[in-house]
Amino acid sequence: SLAQPMKALRDFGSEFRMVLNCHRERRFMIEQQPHLCHWMPIALPFDRWWVSPAPFGHPLFSLFPVLSPLVTTFYDSLSSFTCPPSFVVGPKAAQRRFPQLQDKGLLFATVFHEAMHDDARTNIAIALTAAERGAAVANYCE
């Protein structure tokens, strides 16, 4: 918050490092296990150009609808642009791509991508690899 700028800066740094580590992990998973990961598009729909009251009490966040294309491009850069690029779509294209969005008052949507990982298949792959190399594997023990 603006009332405690040093705390806000420390919190931001901590969260930024966490997001950066998540991007490293996601890049590793996509490179090492492409058969278990895929890209999922996520839409950020906007029905106004600014938000009031400001989310999290921070005035800059009021401008997120306008800044979202820059923010998502920066987000893409954290993974060295290994993900599909972020983009902006108008209301009709957003409705076509994401039919679950409410179209009433929709101005535009910013679309970015996250890696989805099938953790159950990864666990099976690990168990099969371990068994192949001589480990005893069980899914239930007493």
Pair 40, 113: CB distance under 8 Å: yes
Q: What is the pLDDT of residues 106-120, one digit of tens each?
A: 999 999 999 898 889
User: What is each CA distance from 21 to 14, 58, 59, 104, in whole angstroms?
Assistant: 11, 25, 27, 37
pLDDT at 88: 97
Q: Which of the four pLDDT bands, split at 50, 70 and 90, describes residue 129?
A: very high
Q: What mean pLDDT value characterizes the chain?
A: 89
Burial class (CB in 10 A: 0-12, 13-18, 19+), 85: exposed
Q: What is the pLDDT of residues 70-105, one digit of tens each?
A: 999 998 988 888 889 999 999 999 999 999 998 789
Pair 80, 58: CB distance under 8 Å: no
Q: Which of 8-12, 36-40, 58-62 has the highest mean pLDDT?
A: 36-40
All residues at 6 or more sequence positions from 88 whose CB lies less than 8 Å from its CB, including other chains: 68, 69, 108, 109, 110, 111
Strand order in the sheet with 87-89: 37-46, 108-117, 87-89
42: which strand partners? Answer: 112
Backbone φ and ψ of 78, nearest 5°: -65, -25
Q: Outline where DSSP puts E strands in 6-138.
A: 37-46, 87-89, 108-117
What does the alpha-carbon distance between residue 9 and residue 74 come to, in Å, rounded to a whole number?
A: 18
- What is the rounded average pLDDT of the residues 49-74? 86
Is pTM beyond 0.85? Reply is no
